[in-house]
Amino acid sequence: MSPGRLDEGLFWMVNGHYSAPADYLMAAFTYSALTIPAVVIALVAMYFYKGLAARNIWLLAVSLVVAGVALHGMKYVTGADRPLAYFAKTKPPRDQFVHAPFERHEAGSFPSGHSQTAFSVATFMALMFRRHRPLWFAWAALVAFSRVYLGVHFPIDIAAGAITGVAATLFAVITATVLRPPAPGR
């Protein structure tokens, strides 16, 4: 699977404009969407939203597992190169122009796991706790943007990761709601 011309153009538009301070800001957004930091962020928010309940924690975990299984299945099937590897194979090679200040991955580009995690958490928080809904999705969008900025994903990768995260979370929450046993006495 290779990115199209539009995807390449969008990649260069984002990745080609960088600065040292922005590198560290984007890295902070990227690392906030690793599974453990993202779950900690969600749990702390649930605590402050007064929704730190076993059912909510379980639903978040199921959402992330469903999304993760879907994501890794797609990564296995597509085997897409990351920008560095992809541009190393172009004629002439253009990998030396990819701005990748921290990570130098070569495989497993499609879809973006960081985007999937961020959008899973954002969707879950938006469904369960309506407060700050735009902030959750702004955080997820910045995480996704950071992956292109840091040179480790193409725009199509982050879009697919976002869609996977949203869809898996909706599936998990709706399924759990439909399959929830009735309360005693009903």
Model confidence pLDDT, tens digit, residues 68-84: 999 999 999 998 899 99
Give the mean pLDDT of 91-98.
90
| 185: helix, strand or coil | coil
Buried b / exposed e along 115-133 (16+ C-beta atoms within 10 A): bbbbbbbbbbbbbbbeeee
Give the mean pLDDT of 106-127.
93
**Closest of 138, 29, 152, 164 to residue 100, by C-alpha:** 152
Q: What are phi and psi of 81, to 5 degrees?
A: -70, 150
pLDDT digits (tens, 9 = 90+) for 150-168: 999 999 999 999 999 999 9
Instruction: Provide the residue ranges of all domains of the chain, joining segments of one domain with +.
Output: 5-177
* CATH code given to domain 5-177: 1.20.144.10
CA 137, CA 29: separation in Å to the nearest integer? 13
